[in-house]
Every structure is written in structure tokens, then in C-alpha cells.
Amino acid sequence: MGLKTKEEYIESLRAMNPTVYMFGQRITNVVDNPRIRAGIEATAATYELAEMDEYKDLIVTTSPLINEPVNRFTLPPSSIEDLVARVKINRTLGRRVGTCHQRCTGLDCLCALSIVTYNIDQEHGTEYHQRFLEFLKHVQKNDLTCNAGVTDAKGDRSLSPGAQPDPDMYLRVVEKKADGIVVRGAKVHQTGSLSSHEIIVLPTRALKPGEEDYAVAFAVPTDTKGLIHVVGRSTLDLREIEGCDIGNRLYSKYCPTVIFDDVFVPWERVFMCGEVKFASQMVLTFSSFHRQSHGGCKAGKIDCMIGAALTMMEYNGTAGASHHRQKLIDMIHRAETLYGCSLAASYEGKKQPSGTFFIDPVLANASKIHEGKEMAEAIRLMVDIAGGFVSDLPSDRDFENPEVGGLLRKYMKGVDGVPVENRIRMFRLIEKLALESADFVSDIHGGGSPEAHRVTILREVDLEEKKKAAKRLAGIEE
């Protein structure tokens, strides 16, 4: 037990036996499947950095719960310092992996449960918090990765869960037994579900009386019976399968649909069951944490994009173009805005009744609103700087072809002194950074839809205080 090395992490996944489908086929060796493995490697970076002198202090700390060194990805924050560390680690990792490292969502669930189970217990006299702490000890002691099972299938979005023609469109309890519950439904866009040891399920929206079956939170291992992971398509997935024309040579991302086909959960892993009033608090707490996480990792991804754009300017001979420098500044500005608002949300965090610290939701959502709009703009700027070969670069196999490879290398040459291979590789990376669907869509929909972020800041700020200020200056008494 204790901190896992990168290798131990991968072997621990190898020891699991999840039910997985991809391209219509059952996948049995998850860890050595190149597409899934590229995602696992991204999560593995969270273990690797914990071993590296350069990053160890950033990532490893002592858990007050088990009084042992833990990876911060298993640690609900018990101080402002912990909140801030989340953002800085995520930026470091985002820059390092150039995509999503996939380990934040589980942590964000742990953070939310650490606050809300306590609050439920206070009102309902339940014992969820203690159950949760036992689970958390297990996670910390074994340095586990968890996955956030939050987003439901949703069916007809104009109807509430209880009003859907098919009652399973939101995950629900279909049976309660002496030793646990049976749940049915699907959680979609499950980033890194196969890089995780456990999946933590939370409700995805506010619920009302009569929807008790949907108010359920729990954790189960990702290879639990009845759990089916279907790895969907992404734009560049076959590149990894074929081992050819890969942009990010080290890491990637995948987001299965996870079906809960009547899965049994023992009571000791059930953290909410029927308390509809707290569904909203649970999902909002999770989401706000997750939006803070994005402020770090996406800034880190823009760092990569800036680095790629800048390198391409050097390779293309356009490093001196003043309009390109302006575009770089626009990219930097976006990265720092995401980061700044997310950092501020952390520093302005507040202690909750359970002792866990919660971020400032307005500032965290302010960061996310920028992400939802500005990541696309940062991508556009990078592509503008890089040039047209982002769209149609010949394949590695063409470059290797004895008949045309030499000619292609001749014509792909940029400035003197830079090997043509480097320019080719950087174009591939930029294609990946720009047009990998998993990342592109997560910039927009990760952590809830853009409108959800917007509504949150309207709801959370003190509008009365602002009206009062304006009326005083206008000389209006009330």
C-alpha cells in the first residue's frame, strides 16, 4: 500500500477485468490496447510526477485522514493551500500531457462527497459521511484513480428524470436489498473510465420529491459485474490503433459510455440514497470543483499550444512577424485568464461544516465561461500561426515510401538548420491539439454546459448589493 509508482499503477489496472467494447468488438486486454493505453499513460503521469524530484513536492502531501503521504489526487482539500495546489498541479499536468490527464474528475467527486455527505447526515441523521471516509481511506491507502460517473443519458431534456418515457434515462435505484442496492442507467462521456479503479456515481441534476430513486451516490470498481464500457469514436482514434501519424506521441484521451446494467452496490459504498433535496448541492459542488480543475489543466494545454505555435514560427521562418506575436499574446492572455480566475477561486475558498474547503463558485465559473469560449479561439490562433499543413500533411507512411518520401521531405523543409522531421512532427502535434474531438468538446461541455456556468454566476453573486450601490449614487431612497 501507499503511493503507487507509474508501473504499479499500470499493473494494477492490468489486474482488473472490465467489460469493454470498441468498434463493435469486445476488448479484453485494456492496458495494451494502444488507444486506451495512450489515455492510461496520461493518467499515469499523475503517478510518475509523484516520483520525480522536480514535481514531488507539488503532488505528494500527507493526508490528515490516514497520516501517510498521499498523491493529492486522492485528497479532498482541508486548507486554502490544498485548493491552490489543485490548480497548479493541473496546469503542470495539462502542459505536460497536452491533453486531459483524466484523474481530476474522481478527485472532484471525492471533494464533493466530503462536503455533502456530512451535510446530509446533519439533516437526515444518516451515516454517509463515515462510509465515505472509509472509502476515502481505501482510495488513499491504495493510491487509486477514480472516475466521475455524473452525466446521465438524459433522454428528452425538456422532461425531468421522473417524467421520461423510459425511466432509466437517468441512473436510478431499481432494487434495494439487505446488503445493498441495484442500479440501472448509463453515465456518458466517462473520461478515463478504464484508467480508473473505481467509478463514483453522483446525480447529474437537481431532483424533486418523487424522484428519490434518482438521488443516489455510490462507488464501485470499474470492473464490477453489469458495468459495460463502450469506447466511442473520436476524430483521431485510428491513428493510435494503427500506430501511425500520431500527433501527441505520449498521451491521449478517451471517453466511454458506461452502462450500468443492473449493478449491485453494497451499502457501505452507498453515499446518498433518496435525499432528493441534496441532489442539487451534490452536483453543484462537484461541478464547481471540476470547473476549477479545468482552469488549471486547460491553461496548461494552452501552454502546449503556445509552445507549438512558437516552435512552428521558428520552423517556418515567421518568428519575426509582428501579427504572429500579437496572436501569441492573445493565446497567453487566454491561458492566464483561465488560470487567474481559477487560482482566485481557490484562494477565496471557504471551509465547509465537514472541514473540507470549497472554492468560490463565481470565480470558478468565471474561469470556465472563458474556457468554453476561448479555448476554441486559442486553437484557431494556433492554426492561424502554424499554417495549412495542419489539415492535410502526408502520412508518415508516405514520408517512408521510397518513391515519394524523398520528394516530400524536400518540399516539407522549413528554415535551414531544422530537421524536416521536426517540422512534420510539430504539424502532427498541432493537428492533435486542435482537432481531437475529446478535448475540443470537453473545452465546451466539460463540467456542464456553458449555460450552466453562466446561470451559476448570476445565481451566486450578490445582486442586491449592486442595486443598492447604484441607487445610492443616483440619489434614490427606498
Nearer to a second copy, 237 or 275 (CB): 237
Of the CA atoms within 13 Å of residue 275, those in its CB half-sphere come to 25
Nearer to a second copy, 3 or 36 (CB): 36
Taking the C-alpha atoms of residue 251 and residue 43, their distance in angstroms, rounded to an integer, is 9
What are the residues facing 62 on neighbouring strands?
A: 69
DSSP track, 273-289: ES-GGGHHHHHHHHHHH
Q: Least distance from C-beta 84 to a second copy, angstroms?
A: 8
Q: Least distance from C-beta 460 to a second copy, angstroms?
A: 9
Nearer to a second copy, 16 or 420 (CB): 420
| Type of residue at 22 | M
Phi, psi of 29 (to 5 degrees): -100, 90
Nearer to a second copy, 84 or 109 (CB): 84
Neighbour count for residue 81 (Cβ, 10 Å):
12
Nearer to a second copy, 122 or 449 (CB): 449
Q: Least distance from C-beta 16 to a second copy, angstroms?
A: 19
Binding residues: 191
DSSP track, 106-152: HHHHHHHHHHHHHHHHHHH---HHHHHHHHHHHHHHHT--EEEE--B
Taking the C-alpha atoms of residue 272 and residue 354, their distance in angstroms, rounded to an integer, is 16
Q: Strand runs (DSSP E) across 158-208, as ranges?
A: 172-176, 180-187, 198-201
| Type of residue at 423 | R
Nearer to a second copy, 118 or 254 (CB): 254
Q: Least distance from C-beta 234 to a second copy, angstroms?
A: 6
User: 19-22 and 227-231 as β-strands: parallel, antiparallel, unpaired?
Assistant: parallel
Query: Judging by beta carbons within 10 Å of its beta carbon (0-12, 13-18, 19+), is residue 436 exposed, middle or buried?
Result: buried
Nearer to a second copy, 6 or 445 (CB): 445
Nearer to a second copy, 15 or 474 (CB): 474
Q: Least distance from C-beta 362 to a second copy, angstroms?
A: 6
Nearer to a second copy, 152 or 198 (CB): 152
Q: Least distance from C-beta 114 to a second copy, angstroms?
A: 23
Taking the C-alpha atoms of residue 259 and residue 256, their distance in angstroms, rounded to an integer, is 9
Q: Least distance from C-beta 198 to a second copy, angstroms?
A: 21
Q: 58 vs 47, 89, 249, 307, 426, CA distance in Å?
A: 12, 7, 25, 23, 29
Q: Least distance from C-beta 183 to a second copy, angstroms?
A: 14
Least Cα distance to 282 among 294, 272, 268, 274 occurs for: 272
Nearer to a second copy, 1 or 159 (CB): 159
Q: Least distance from C-beta 277 to a second copy, angstroms?
A: 25
- The number of residues making up the chain comes to 478
Binding residues for FAD: 191
Quick one: DSSP state of residue 359?
Answer: -
Taking the C-alpha atoms of residue 131 and residue 120, their distance in angstroms, rounded to an integer, is 13
Least Cα distance to 18 among 254, 267, 231 occurs for: 231
Least Cα distance to 289 among 438, 96, 113 occurs for: 113
DSSP track, 26-57: EE---TT-HHHHHHHHHHHHHHHHHHSHHHHH
Q: Least distance from C-beta 29 to a second copy, angstroms?
A: 18
